[in-house]
Amino acid sequence: MTSSLDVLLGFTQALALTMSVAFVTYVLLIVVPYLRHRPGPVGRSTSFEWHFVVPCRDEGAVIGDTIAYLRMNFPIAHVWVVDDDSDDGTVDVVQAWLDGGDTHIHLVRRFRPQARTGKGDALNDAYRTVKLWMGRHSDPDRAIVVVVDADGRPAANCLEVCAADHLFGDPSLGAVQVDVRMINTGVRQTGVPWWRKTFGSALVRMQDLEFRTAIAAIQMSRGVTGTISMGGNGQFTRLSALDSIAGTTGRPWRGSLLEDFELGVHLLTAGWRTGFSTDTHVHQEGLYDLGRFLAQRTRWGQGTMQCMRHLRRIWDSEHLTTLGAAEMLYYLAQPWMQLLGSLVYPIPVLLLAHRAVVSPAEVWTWFTDGAWILFTVYGAFGLLPFLLWGPVYRARCAPETSLLRSLAYGFGYALYIYTFYITSWRALTRLLRGDNTWTKTRRNTDRGLTVHS
């Protein structure tokens, strides 16, 4: 029995060590190129035709401002609002713009029961409508479809940046994802108790830090592996690339809860390259509420788990290198590793706790004789991959932040990441139940809604 326990302890310790070391190594490998990155040249936006697609469901409160923003900043672009049978005044707001005679604004209406079947379906409708509107003689290589959330604010330079020679100026490049930032970073909620203001503000800060440092660094490293992935907001895709994966039914977006990542998988396995840029960005609203944040991340986790079904496609593709396929496997394995980690990591701790209860003096002697050093070393290696993003955020994104505060951000980010252990289990539960219905991530001022996928 003791021998079996020793083997179990040895195994779990080694597995924990391997997973931690792999993660530390990975983080150190991605942070260096991120810190070395310098802005690239821009291109001529007029070389392309731009179509902003804005999926909306009950977005009456924000869509008017978004249309105004897009038309003011990108006068050459078309704006396609896809209404998913909203119950609020979304259509009325868009109709008012249409009545104003702006020929660059378009409304794509969906009606139940065909509506509310998922964001991917809404985007597919928009894709088919844009194709019809453009006509047979248009040039799909020059047309770029830009997916923006209803509250999204693409930076004013985004078309010039994406038109650069190293991005859409390269005909082999099918899609570009731009950096995502939180528009309400540093903005506190009003009308809530002080502790909710403080927590909400910290949560938004962590989302900003996550997208602008860790996720951006991961995306840059994917430039080496050839596996840059797409996000749902600030996603630019060449129309001819969408055509190539749309199939006979005209559906480039598929049915998973992570339809953006799934689109990237299909583009990459069809032979397209994908790009990422921090030279421009899209602003979106960070979530103040922990419950809404956990719901959003559970959806992402479930979507990642669903995308495991593309593993064979990824590894069979001749267009992806083994390094690229391994990177995608690593990404898709993340929620599963979190599940495994939540089972494995506590075992040595529980066994130690058991020994401490059975023979406390022995454990205390062991601890003070040097085991504390082990705890310190492993604790440091467990914390370092998260902690370093605080100072990195200060260096690249928020130079006004003090070093001490940036370290606090790093600690906060470590805690923030631990929420993924919760969301991965929630995602697994939903997956096992076959539950693909989903509560749309609510805006900070919204009530909840349910969509089906």
Partner 1 sequence: MAERNPGVALAGSPLVRHSDLPSRVVVLALLGASAALVVANQAYREAEVSLAGFLLGAIGPDGVAVVAERQTVYFGLGSDTPLGLRMTPECTSAFLVLPLLVIGAAMIALRPRITRRVLVALGAAAVAVVVVNQFRVLTLVGLVEWLGVDTGYHWGHTLLGSMVSVFGGAAALVLFVRLATRR
CB 387 within 8 A of CB 410: yes
Nearest of 259, 260, 240, 236 to residue 177 by alpha carbon: 236
* Min separation Cβ 116 and partner 1, Å: 27
At CA 172, angle to CA 167 and CA 175, rounded to 5? 55
Give 283's strand partners.
153, 181
Q: Is 272 in the site for partner 1 (CB under 8 A)?
A: yes
In the bound state with partner 1, the residue whose beta carbon lies nearer, of 206 and 220, is 220
In the bound state with partner 1, the residue whose beta carbon lies nearer, of 369 and 400, is 369
In the bound state with partner 1, the residue whose beta carbon lies nearer, of 82 and 217, is 217
Site for partner 1 in 305-324 (CB under 8 A): 311-313, 315-319, 321-323
Torsion of the alpha carbons at 272, 273, 279 and 284, rounded to the nearest 10 = 50
Q: Is 50 in the site for partner 1 (CB under 8 A)?
A: no
Residue 432 burial (CB < 10 Å; 0-12/13-18/19+)? exposed
Site for partner 1 in 233-252 (CB under 8 A): 238, 240-241, 243-245, 247-248
H or E, element range at 282: strand 273-284
Q: Is 384 in the site for partner 1 (CB under 8 A)?
A: no
A 10 A CB-CB count for 192 gives 14
Q: Is 364 in the site for partner 1 (CB under 8 A)?
A: no
How far lies 239's CA from each of 164, 171, 252, in Å?
17, 12, 10
Greatest alpha-carbon pair distance for the chain in Å reads 83
In the bound state with partner 1, the residue whose beta carbon lies nearer, of 120 and 152, is 120
The site for partner 1, by CB under 8 A, has a size of 54
Give the position of tokens 């479930």. Answer: 302
Q: Is 371 in the site for partner 1 (CB under 8 A)?
A: yes
* Min separation Cβ 321 and partner 1, Å: 6
Site for partner 1 in 6-35 (CB under 8 A): 6-7, 9-11, 13-15, 17-18, 21-22, 24-25
Which of residues 199, 336, 345, 381 is near partner 1 by CB under 8 A? Answer: 381
Q: Is 326 in the site for partner 1 (CB under 8 A)?
A: yes
Structure token pair of residue 283: 């602003």
Q: Is 289 in the site for partner 1 (CB under 8 A)?
A: no
* Min separation Cβ 42 and partner 1, Å: 22
* Min separation Cβ 180 and partner 1, Å: 26
Give 52's strand partners.
79, 146
Q: Which stretch binds partner 1 (CB under 8 A): 124-132, 170-178, 214-222, 430-438?
A: 170-178
Q: Is 377 in the site for partner 1 (CB under 8 A)?
A: yes
- The span from the CA of 110 to the CA of 401, in Å, is 46
Q: Which stretch binds partner 1 (CB under 8 A): 30-38, 116-124, 192-200, 371-379?
A: 371-379
In the bound state with partner 1, the residue whose beta carbon lies nearer, of 321 and 436, is 321
How far lies 186's CA from each of 17, 193, 198, 200, 419, in Å?
37, 17, 10, 10, 22
H or E, element range at 208: helix 194-209
* Min separation Cβ 78 and partner 1, Å: 22
Q: Is 270 in the site for partner 1 (CB under 8 A)?
A: yes
Structure token pair of residue 451: 């969509």
* Min separation Cβ 24 and partner 1, Å: 7
Q: Which stretch binds partner 1 (CB under 8 A): 77-85, 166-174, 185-193, 286-294?
A: 166-174
* Min separation Cβ 383 and partner 1, Å: 14
DSSP state of 163: T
CB 246 within 8 A of CB 450: no
Q: Is 178 helix (H, G, I), strand (E, B) or coil?
A: strand
Nearest of 84, 58, 56 to residue 70 by alpha carbon: 56
What one-character-per-residue DSSP string does 191-206 give? SS-HHHHHHHHHHHHH
In the bound state with partner 1, the residue whose beta carbon lies nearer, of 187 and 308, is 308
Nearest of 38, 270, 225, 21 to residue 262 by alpha carbon: 270
* Min separation Cβ 141 and partner 1, Å: 7
* Min separation Cβ 320 and partner 1, Å: 9
- The span from the CA of 192 to the CA of 200, in Å, is 10
In the bound state with partner 1, the residue whose beta carbon lies nearer, of 321 and 444, is 321
Question: Which residues make up the interface to partner 1 (CB under 8 A)?
Answer: 6-7, 9-11, 13-15, 17-18, 21-22, 24-25, 141, 171-174, 238, 240-241, 243-245, 247-248, 269-273, 311-313, 315-319, 321-323, 325-326, 329, 369-371, 373-374, 377-378, 381
